């Protein structure tokens, strides 16, 4: 399937590299456009055969599916400019946060098919989480094409668009939360005398293993936590310290704050 992308920033680059790495697309069937030529050049060095489109319109004309990976404030002008040419547009997949399907469809020519998706940066290592909602003109075949592309990078979930801000706050922002936890655990290890490299590797391995354990057992996280927590032991002492610092509430408030910010962005 001929696939294009406009925007090779952190998220767009991560998503496309994940698709290429997974074999969901082959370089010869990929067209990219980015204002910064060096971003395209870096991708072509990794994946020879990728085409650089000279313009945004050229990228749209060359492909069957076009991923829009520009900043949120650029997505509506981009869709408008592509639509004004009068040519039928390919299936559009927008990964812009806080820009609704209604707003995008209002800028598009009649019949334009749009999928709104929210990937995260682990797509680059094929361990992403991607949620999507389909616009009014999207057919079953379109949706299957979008799922096939996105699933090369990780787990794909269809959600109601009204849930997209919550998705963004958990899985979209989530890698930043996890990296912060890893850094804090590494700092704690260093404070207790461990070499930083060792402390970070211990933290990473523990996070990976714990997530895999929950995924494979299907047990409630608290049930798994209790299996580690002996009466009067070190784990319960550590958990009590987290509670004293408001750890659980901090996570909840972080997600709420991210949702609130997304809602503010939608209003503007």
- Look at residues 163, 196, 222 and tell me which one is the last residue of a structural domain: 163
Residue 190 belongs to a domain with what CATH number? 1.10.3730.10
11 is in an annotated binding site: yes
User: Does residue 168 form part of some domain?
Assistant: no
Percentage of residues in the chain with pLDDT exceeding 70? 100
| pLDDT of the residue at 267 | 84
95 marked as binding residue: no
9 is in an annotated binding site: yes
Q: Same structural domain for residues 140 and 225?
A: no
Same domain, 18 and 149: yes
Q: Does residue 1 have a known ligand-binding role?
A: no
Question: Could you give the number of structural domains in the chain?
Answer: 2
End residue of a domain, out of 101, 131, 163: 163
* Mean pLDDT confidence for 1-15: 96
The pLDDT, as a whole number, for residue 188 is: 99
Average pLDDT, the chain: 97
- What pLDDT sits at residue 266? 87
pLDDT at 268: 72
- 135 close to 116: Cβ distance less than 8 angstroms: yes
Assess whether 81 and 199 both reside in one domain.
no
Is residue 174 marked as binding? Answer: no
Q: Which residue has the tokens 């461990």?
A: 194
43 with 111, same domain: the answer is yes
Check whether 7 is labelled as a binding-site residue: yes
Are 68 and 129 in a shared domain?
Answer: yes
Instruction: Name the pLDDT band for 159 (thresholds 50, 70, 90).
Output: very high
Residue 225 domain flag: yes
Work out the average pLDDT over 236-250.
98
- Could you report the per-residue pLDDT of 24-50, keeping only the tens digit for each? 999 999 999 999 999 999 999 999 999
* Whether residue 244 has pLDDT greater than 90: yes
Q: Considering the domain boundaries, does residue 251 fall inside one?
A: yes
Identify whether residues 74 and 132 lie together within a single domain.
yes
Please give the structure tokens belonging to residue 57.
């319109």
Pair (105, 212) in one structural domain: no
Do residue 139 and residue 186 come from a single domain? no
Domain co-membership, 121 together with 25: yes
* pLDDT per position as a tens digit, 192-242: 999 999 999 999 999 999 999 999 999 999 999 999 999 999 999 999 999
Residue 87 is given by DSSP the state S
Give residue-wise pLDDT tens across range 43-102: 999 999 999 999 999 999 999 999 999 999 999 999 999 999 888 999 999 999 999 999
Q: Are 2 and 63 in contact (CB under 8 A)?
A: yes
Whether 255 maps to a domain, the answer reads yes
What is the pLDDT averaged over residues 181-195?
Answer: 99
Q: Is residue 237 part of a domain?
A: yes
What are the distances in angstroms from CA 60 to CA 43, 69, 139, 153?
19, 13, 19, 22
Say whether both 62 and 103 belong to one domain. Answer: yes
d(CA 129, CA 80): 29
Cite the beta strand spans of the chain per DSSP E.
Answer: 3-6, 30-33, 51-52, 65-68, 91-94, 114-118, 128-134, 154-158
In a domain, residue 169? The reply is no
Residue 259 in this model has a pLDDT that exceeds 80: yes
Domain, as residue range, for 221: 174-267
The verdict on whether residue 72 carries a ligand-binding annotation is: yes
User: Does residue 238 lie within any of the structural domains?
Assistant: yes
What does the CA dihedral 143, 49, 55, 14 come to, rounded to 10 degrees? 60
CA distance 123 to 152: 8
| Co-location of 199 and 250 in the same domain | yes
Whether 142 and 190 map to the same domain: the answer is no
79 is in an annotated binding site: no
Beta carbons of 127 and 100 less than 8 angstroms apart = no
């Amino acid at each position: 399937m001929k696939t294009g992308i406009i925007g090779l920033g952190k998220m767009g680059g991560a998503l496309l590299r994940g698709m290429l790495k997974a074999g969901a697309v082959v370089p010869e069937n990929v067209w990219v456009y980015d204002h910064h030529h060096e971003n395209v050049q870096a991708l072509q060095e990794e994946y020879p055969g990728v085409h650089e489109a000279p313009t945004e319109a050229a990228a749209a004309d060359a492909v069957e599916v076009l991923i829009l990976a520009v900043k949120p404030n650029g997505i509506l002008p981009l869709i408008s400019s592509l639509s004004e040419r009068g040519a039928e547009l390919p299936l559009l997949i927008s990964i812009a946060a806080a820009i609704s399907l209604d707003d995008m469809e209002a800028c598009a020519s009649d019949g334009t098919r749009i999928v709104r998706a929210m990937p995260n940066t682990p797509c680059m290592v094929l361990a992403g989480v991607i949620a999507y909602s389909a616009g009014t003109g999207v057919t079953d075949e379109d949706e299957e094409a979008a799922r096939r592309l996105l699933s090369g990078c990780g787990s794909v979930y269809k959600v109601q668009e009204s849930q997209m801000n919550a998705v963004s706050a958990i899985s979209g922002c989530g890698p930043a939360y996890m990296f912060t936890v890893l850094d804090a655990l590494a700092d704690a290890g260093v404070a207790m005398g461990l070499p930083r490299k060792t402390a970070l590797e211990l933290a990473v391995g523990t996070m990976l293993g714990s997530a895999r354990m929950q995924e494979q057992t299907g047990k409630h996280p608290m049930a798994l936590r209790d299996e580690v927590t002996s009466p009067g032991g070190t784990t319960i002492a550590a958990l009590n310290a987290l509670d004293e610092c408001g750890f659980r509430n901090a996570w909840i408030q972080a997600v709420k704050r991210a949702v609130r910010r997304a809602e503010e962005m939608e209003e503007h």
